[in-house]
Amino acid sequence: MRMAALSGASGIPVATIKFYLREGLLHAGERTSPNQSQYDTTHVHRLRLIRALTEVGGLSIMAAGELLATIDNPELPMHQVFGIAQGAVRLPISQISAQDLADGSELLDKVISDRGWQVADSLVARADATRVVGTMRALGLEHSHRMLDSYARAAEIVAKADMDSVQAVTGRDAKVETVVAGTVLGDVLLAALRRIAQADYSSAMFGEATAGPPGAALPPAN
Amino acid sequence: MRMAALSGASGIPVATIKFYLREGLLHAGERTSPNQSQYDTTHVHRLRLIRALTEVGGLSIMAAGELLATIDNPELPMHQVFGIAQGAVRLPISQISAQDLADGSELLDKVISDRGWQVADSLVARADATRVVGTMRALGLEHSHRMLDSYARAAEIVAKADMDSVQAVTGRDAKVETVVAGTVLGDVLLAALRRIAQADYSSAMFGEATAGPPGAALPPAN
């Protein structure tokens, strides 16, 4: 198909597609004349992936571009693809005090050991989790090992599902794309489902008590 | 304590504390002279919460300020606090095509009904989840109901833990603060733990196959 048809098929304006081509996020079409190229379904699919990463996943164009470069490098071992996908979605965490860090580290190490997770001390996500747990503890939010343990159990279920969906597709490119898009979109999906489940518990727990007869749960407030 | 001591106790520069006071994020101290006020542990605690929301949770100062205003309004019913906390952390999702939306909606409705969740159709998180699921389906990521079902089970475990930690604290202010900080920090914690669990599965699954003898899992790549 020509550029105009690619724009129609993907719903993305021609100028935006040209920008993606220039920036290397989208592979070039097959040149049929000095001013024209032919595009195919691989271009439509890649455009969908770019939009998923930037519009649904919230990545910048630059971050999406770096991430997509991993898909195009067949030399990269699969176990490194996860690291790169994880690195593209940096969690918004900065420094905390040494004491909070030490407390967080102690709590997190226990959870990791309880779950039998074999992960390197140098894993970025481990440092991120340590800072969040330390901050929660400093705020008095972490009232028992139980909460952290529940989160870890949930994370394990999700990571298992992530791995299963990587296993379910065939071919290296499809596996890598599943890792990349799944890492970015999975965070958002999980956060949204958490809110839905909270709304269910919240209306049952607080809706009735504050504003209605028993059995008549209020809909949540947003 | 005086301003200098508050700065020392919280580790936050005086100029920043004065900014939070002006913007209404931090309550005023008790004025002891025209140029001096006394601060106490409630100020230290509030400063910790502000930093947790902005530096660990990634909220803007303005978003954190709006969220903190809920804590200071004792009229607000508890079931609305969740809605407001959820609204402060908007998920980065934009429009998708009508077909993808319809597909996503069908899949999500089934999961919500399978889990027995009672939530309003108008819930913002429900629309967010629909868009993510629709996007995943369009990318060919959602290979079975099983993946979505695993995510929903995980979300339920986390939401239950969230509710338990709200129940575990006494007093309305403490409950509200637990909701607010828990919503923001919980997302980050869950995402970080998901990455750790992925690293554990990934090194077992791909590390050995690509680069080491059986039994010698490589550490993940970041």
Residues B189-210: pLDDT tens digits? Answer: 999 999 999 889 887 777 643 3
Q: Which of A41-50, B3-12, B35-44, B72-81 has the lowest mean pLDDT?
A: B72-81
Q: Does B36 touch chain A (CB under 8 A)?
A: no
Which percentage of chain B shows pLDDT scores above 70? Answer: 88
A contact test, residue of B132, B137, B145 with most A CBs within 10 A: B132
Contact B191 A87 (CB under 8 A): no
Distances (CA, A) of A11 to A37, B101, B125, B130: 18, 15, 25, 19
Among partner residues A147, A188, A193, which is closest to B165 by beta-carbon distance?
A: A147
**Tens of pLDDT, residues B71-120:** 778 787 777 777 777 777 666 666 677 888 898 899 999 999 999 999 98
Interface of A with B in 85-114 (CB under 8 A): 86-87, 89, 91-97, 112
Contact A220 B157 (CB under 8 A): no
The whole-angstrom separation of Cα B106 and Cα B93 is: 19
B96 or B33: which leads in pLDDT? B33
B180 or A16: which leads in pLDDT? A16
The upper half-sphere exposure of residue B203, i.e. CA atoms within 13 Å in the direction of its Cβ, equals 19
Residue (of B141, B46, B155, B160) closest to B100 by Cα position: B141
Please give the single-letter amino acid code of residue A117: W
The whole-angstrom separation of Cα A92 and Cα A88 is: 12
**Tens of pLDDT, residues A104-136:** 899 999 999 999 999 988 888 898 899 888 888
pLDDT category of residue B184 using cuts at 50, 70 and 90 = confident
Residue A33 neighbours by CB under 8 Å, 6+ apart: none
Residue (of A93, A25, A29) closest to A61 by Cα position: A25
A145-168 helix and A172-202 helix, angle to the nearest 10 degrees: 140
pLDDT category of residue A220 using cuts at 50, 70 and 90 = very low
Whether residue A50 is predicted with pLDDT greater than 50 in this model: the reply is yes
Contact B205 A163 (CB under 8 A): yes
Whether residue A79 is predicted with pLDDT greater than 90 in this model: the reply is no
Nearest residue in chain A measured CA to CA from B80? A221
Residue (of A72, A107, A71) closest to A183 by Cα position: A71
Residue B33 neighbours by CB under 8 Å, 6+ apart: none
Give the mean pLDDT of A168-174: 81
Among partner residues A131, A150, A200, which is closest to B119 by beta-carbon distance?
A: A200
Distances (CA, A) of B53 to A144, A222, B181: 21, 21, 7
A78-88 helix and A61-71 helix, angle to the nearest 10 degrees: 180
Interface of A with B in 15-34 (CB under 8 A): none
Query: Beta partners for B30?
Result: B38
Distances (CA, A) of B148 to A75, A158, B95: 31, 9, 21
Distances (CA, A) of B163 to A137, A150, B24, B152: 17, 12, 29, 16
Whether residue A91 is predicted with pLDDT greater than 70 in this model: the reply is no
Contact B151 A120 (CB under 8 A): no
- pLDDT, chain A, mean: 82
What DSSP designation does B205 have? I
At residue A59, the 3 state secondary structure works out as coil
Contact A189 B129 (CB under 8 A): yes
Whether residue A155 is predicted with pLDDT greater than 90 in this model: the reply is yes
**Amino acid B201: pLDDT:** 86
Contact A56 B156 (CB under 8 A): no
